[in-house]
Amino acid sequence: MLIIAHNLVVPIWGIVNQKGGVGKTTTAVNIAAALANRNQKTLLIDADPQGNATTGLGVDKKSVRSSLYDVFVHGINHPEDSKIIKGSIIQINKCLDLIPTTIDLSGAEAQLLTAVGKEYILKDAIKHVKDNYQWIIIDAPPSLGLITINVLSASHSVLVPMQSEFYALEGLTQLMKTIAIVKKRINPNLSIAKVLLTMYDNRSRLSKQVTEELDTFFGEKLSDIKIPKNVRLSEAPSFGKSAIDLYPTSKGTVAYQNFVDKIMLM
Ligand code: ATP
Ligand code: MG
């Protein structure tokens, strides 16, 4: 395995929004793929029991022997043991690795409830592998339960994908409150990296209006680069490949590549 000499901390970005269907997985998969295409050794962790990032990268869940569920369950009682997390890593391409998830993960929250240090299980597990990477991206589920708290506790930065729609701001207060509490009690280094508008339609008046409201709310945290509505982004997962690899010149993937180049790798 490639060992990377680091002077810097490995950036760990959690892709978080408890609202469903806002583009978390699409963002996680495509920024991870874009980083890997730029020779950044990247680990994508699928922390959503739906396992959309796993399927979207062409991994058949039935063939998965060890998943993030096993990492959580093992990590509860064996924080020093790296065997399970190392064994769960699947190589997708030269620079992209994945820790897959199966529906088993939906049972993990109940098991975590009685664990000592239940908010730190993922963070402790990642410690065993993080030095092999230049980037770690975690796709969170659409909830603010214990798995998402683990994602926030393991991350340095949160990337919040949002749809520019009427209800976009609903639920945002709850998300900001959760991030603030995690920062205060669990992970003082946590910060919001960017709020990223997805499925953006620049012809729609509503999109523009919501963007203005978000701009007032978030200021410079709102990414200038927006991800347009683009059917290629929604088609790619059914081929088990990122849109970045399948349609590198479509307008959706170009936007993700710009985001990676101008915001993540600047
Ligand atoms: P969940 O909360 O269920 O995990 P999510 O936040 O991860 O959802 P995605 O699965 O990434 O959201 O996206 C929801 C749907 O929208 C998917 O069908 C996806 O293919 C599609 N989609 C995402 N981004 C775009 C885009 N920019 N243009 C068109 N379709 C998109
Ligand atoms: Mg998802």
226 Cβ below 6 A of ligand 1: no
> Which of 104, 26, 28 is CA-nearest to residue 61?
104
Q: What angle do CA 238, 63, 80 make, to 5 degrees?
A: 115
* Protein residue with least CA distance to atom 17, ligand 1: 234
247-260 burial, b for 16+ CB within 10 Å, e for fewer?
Answer: beebebbbbbbbbb
pLDDT at 41 (0 to 100) = 98
Residue 202, number of CB atoms within 10 A of its CB: 11
Indicate if the pLDDT at residue 5 is higher than 90. Answer: no
Tell me, using a 6 A CB cutoff, whether residue 153 lines ligand 1.
no
Percentage of the chain exceeding pLDDT 70: 97
Distance (Å) from CA 158 to ligand 2 centroid: 15
Counting Cβ atoms within 10 Å, is residue 180 exposed (0-12), middle (13-18) or buried (19+)? exposed
Task: Find out whether 75 and 121 touch, Cβ atoms under 8 Å.
Answer: yes
Q: What is the pLDDT of residue 166?
A: 77
**Backbone φ, ψ for residue 16 (5° rounding):** -130, 130
Q: What's the residue count for the chain?
A: 266
Which H or E run includes 138? Answer: strand 135-139
* Helix and strand numbers, DSSP H then E, in the chain: 12, 7
In angstroms, rounded to a whole number, what is the distance separating the alpha carbons of residues 197 and 162? Answer: 5
Mean pLDDT of 83-91: 98
Architecture of domain 12-263: 3-Layer(aba) Sandwich (3.40)
The percentage of the chain sitting over the pLDDT mark of 90, rounded to a whole number, equals 87
Integer-rounded Cα radius of gyration of the chain: 17
2 pLDDT exceeds 70? no
- Looking at residue 169, its pLDDT comes to 81
Atom of ligand 1 nearest to the CA of 231: 29
Rounded distance between C-alpha atoms, residue 47 and residue 65, angstroms: 16
Q: How confident is the model at residue 43 (pLDDT cuts 50, 70, 90)?
A: very high
Closest CA to 144 of 9, 16, 15, 6: 16
The one-letter code for the residue type at 225 is: I
* Average pLDDT value for the chain: 95
At residue 207, the pLDDT reads 86
CA of 197 to the centre of ligand 1 (A): 12
Instruction: Give the phi and the psi of residue 222 in degrees, each rounded to 5.
Output: -80, 120
* pLDDT the model gives residue 38: 98
pLDDT of 1 > 70? The answer is no
pLDDT confidence bin for 6, thresholds 50/70/90? low
3-state secondary structure of 66: coil
What value does the mean pLDDT take over residues 234-248? 98
Q: What average pLDDT does the segment 195-213 reach?
A: 91
pLDDT of residue 144: 95
- For residue 212, the one-letter residue type is E
Q: Which of 48, 178, 64 is nearest to 122 (CA)?
A: 48
Whether the CB of 229 sits within 6 Å of ligand 1: yes
Query: Residue 171 — very low, low, confident or very high, per pLDDT cuts 50/70/90?
Result: confident
Q: Specify the pLDDT at position 147.
A: 98
| Mean pLDDT value of segment 63-80 | 96
Determine the Cα–Cα distance for residues 68 and 51; give it in Å rounded to an integer. 10
CA atoms of 136 and 17, how far apart (whole Å): 18
**120-147 pLDDT, tens per residue?**
999 999 999 999 999 999 999 999 999 9
For residue 21, the CA-to-ligand 1 centroid distance in Å is 5
Distance 91 CA to ligand 2 centre (A): 20
CB neighbour class for 240 (10 Å; exposed up to 12, middle 13-18, buried from 19): middle
The reply to whether ligand 1 has any atom less than 6 angstroms from the CB of 234 is: yes
pLDDT bracket for residue 168 (50, 70, 90)? confident
Can you say whether residue 117 is alpha, beta or left, with left for phi > 0 and alpha for psi between -120 and 50 degrees? Answer: left
